[in-house]
Amino acid sequence: MAVRIVPVPCLKDNYAYLVIDGTYAAVVDPSEPAPVLDAAAREGVDIGAIWLTHHHWDHVGGVEGILQMHPGAEVVAHPTDAEKAKVPKVTKKVEDGQTVTTGPLTAKIIHNPGHTLGAISYVIEDAVFTGDTLFAAGCGRVFEGTMEMMHDSLQKLAALPPETRVFFGHEYTASNLKFAAHAEPDNEAVKARAGSLVTPSTPSTIGDELATNPFMRAKDAAQFAERRTGKDNFKG
């Protein structure tokens, strides 16, 4: 049976996700506990695992509150981010290329350093959870890694099948498309995507990003760095 994925809006513009098989769920990046626990109750599932893409507070802030209600849940993160004090209660550390199994769910890990050094994505069936590495029409800021690292991380994700659904960490799509139109003014796919945008915009697909994401479309690390710096200072 295919897994079900339920987006859970959190904070101002974050997304957590419930990944559901039967009555079992893993939650990806719980920013805060209440919306996730409410969603789990509505769906009739028990949270057996917490999958973390990186250590930032707005992705891990709900971990301890969820563990209070689901004390047996496993907590998964990359070792680099697991060592940071802001990632609580990690029980499984995962590396690039490994698979992680929690309950009936098995995901492949892609290490995506750049936004943080321990950022990872989880691939399960035809879906990938990218945290703040890959957004719809955008990518995360480069806080801990290098521009070359982030470019390489996006290219790893670009190699996934184009039909892969992309479940990203923030609803930034409208502003990202404004920058995409600035970076590639002749890109008709960007214009079409902006014209048909519906919020919430999750999930995207890898194919959508290959057509419209100026960071994934950068020809090399130098152009990526130019575009990322431009987006950091973009006022459009």
Catalytic residues: 54, 56, 58-59, 115, 132, 170
- DSSP helix/strand/coil, 58: helix
Rounded to 10 degrees, what is the CA torsion of 160, 209, 31, 106? -10
Bond from prior residue into 203 cis (ω within 30 degrees of 0): yes
Query: Can you tell me whether residue 235 is helix, strand or coil?
Result: coil
3-state secondary structure labels for all residues of 176-208: HHHHHHHHCCCCHHHHHHHHCCCCCCCCEEHHH
d(CA 199, CA 24): 28
